[in-house]
Amino acid sequence: MQTSTFRRRAGSAAVVAVALAAMLTACSSDEEKPSEGGGSYAIWDPYPQFADDSDWVKLLKDCGTSAGVTVERTGYDTTDLTNKALLAAQQDNSPDVLVVDNPVISTLAEAGALTTTEDTKLDTSSMEPNLLGAGQTGGKTFGVPIGANTLALYYNKALLTGAGVDLATVKDWPSLTAALAKVKAAGKKGITFSAIGTEEGSFQFLPWFWGSGAQLTALDSAPAVAALSLWTDWLKQGYAPNSVINNTQTTSWQEFASGDYAFGENGTWQLANAEKLGFDYGIIPIPGSSGGTAPAPTGGEFVSIPVQSDTGRYATSQKLVACLTSGDKLLATDTTLSYIAPVAAVQAKQVEANPKLAVWVDAVKAAKGRTGDNLGTRYPRISEPMWTAVQAALSGAKTPQEALSAAHTAAGTK
């Protein structure tokens, strides 16, 4: 988060809003069109934290060498990257390859800035369908997932044992709530998460929302109300702290890392920090309301090929994308970026190398894209009312039903 989907980016709603505004702004670009034919090919990515001597940039350069070209890589902050990609598309000055946060794909696609995988003959046959869905809109696919991260529940082993909780019994919402009651009775704290009024809050609420069986097109449905009531009741019972209303995923992690909480909702990106905890921890998938693994939202990027007036460049661009997203290179890519691979065979290799990733592979298999279900650019218009509803209910300003009814009206969903 540096953390998940938000590790390198602002909230998706803000990204899309700024991006759409940028589409209406005419300004000149300082970027030079990369030279053609065996020369240089431009790659833009949202990883400005990676310097030229990093493993990531070395990987890009190696793929360029394999394709017989020189890679000119530029890393931007996600919001800046989205704006620049839209402006470059207007000016016919796009990079050859674009690595972009998955919720932004629909914005760029609807702006006509991206080619389809059919156009450029990118092979997506080995990709997990639920991850590929984040890059699909209007029945077409606009890139290849480079990897994914998602959410699960970290737990404090000693704290649960001391409270008499058998983790094997935690399989659904009632059993999780019962575990939290035991933890509180033992004088300890239950669960922490992020419910801040931003996309980060929506991201953390979605596993419970989807885990109830709710759909984003019906924010006021009975299952949706049940999901928000679960969180609200946890605060009322003292199983979760009032601080969740303002918690980011970083501050929520800090609460869990204090050793005072039995559970903490967080993501794959915290694994390195988890190894530094002063207590033994474990990870379980977020349970659905009546059992099973709840679908959690996917974080991660897609590798896409922007539209070029010189279509002869696509063949080399396709080689670059294929290099990053296939075979051993994909394993190296996802190891470098701390992602779960979008291909089952590579996921198996990741678990073989690090068994602790097994629970994350399971979580990613159950995950879904926020812009999936053909929501596309409608998602941000749904997400903001949803996080607003969460805030209203947790603060006590409205009941869960009132909050979600207002959210449904504000989202304009039917």
pLDDT value of residue 340? 95
Residues with pLDDT less than 70, the chain: 1-37, 413-414
Query: What is the per-residue pLDDT for 413?
Result: 65
Nearest partner of 379 among 245, 202, 195, judged by Cα: 202
CATH of domain 4-148+299-366: 3.40.190.10
Per the CB < 8 A criterion, the answer to whether 137 and 379 are in contact is no
CATH number of 151-296+380-411: 3.40.190.10
Residue type present at position 81:
L
Say what the pLDDT of residue 29 is.
35
Res 414: pLDDT: 55
Residues 131 and 148: beta-carbon distance below 8 Å? yes
| Burial group, residue 169, by CB count within 10 angstroms (0-12, 13-18, 19+) | exposed
Report the C-alpha gap between 85 and 77 in whole angstroms: 12
- Per-residue pLDDT of 183-201, as tens digits, reads 999 999 999 999 999 999 9
> CATH 3.40.190.10 residue ranges in the chain?
4-148+299-366, 151-296+380-411
One-letter amino acid of 206: L
- Give the per-residue pLDDT at 281: 97
* Per-residue model confidence as pLDDT tens digits over 51-104: 999 999 999 999 999 999 999 999 998 889 999 999 999 999 999 999 999 999
Find, among 13, 25, 337, 300, the residue nearest to 150 by Cα.
300
Question: Tell me, what's the pLDDT at 9?
Answer: 38
Around Cβ 115, how many Cβ atoms within 10 Å?
24
Neighbour-count burial for 180-211, b at 16+ CB within 10 Å, e otherwise: bbbbbeeebbbbbbbbbbbbbbbbbbbbbbbb
- pLDDT tens profile 20-29: 333 322 333 3
Are 391 and 406 in contact, with CB atoms under 8 Å apart? no
Tokens encoding 195: 């419910």
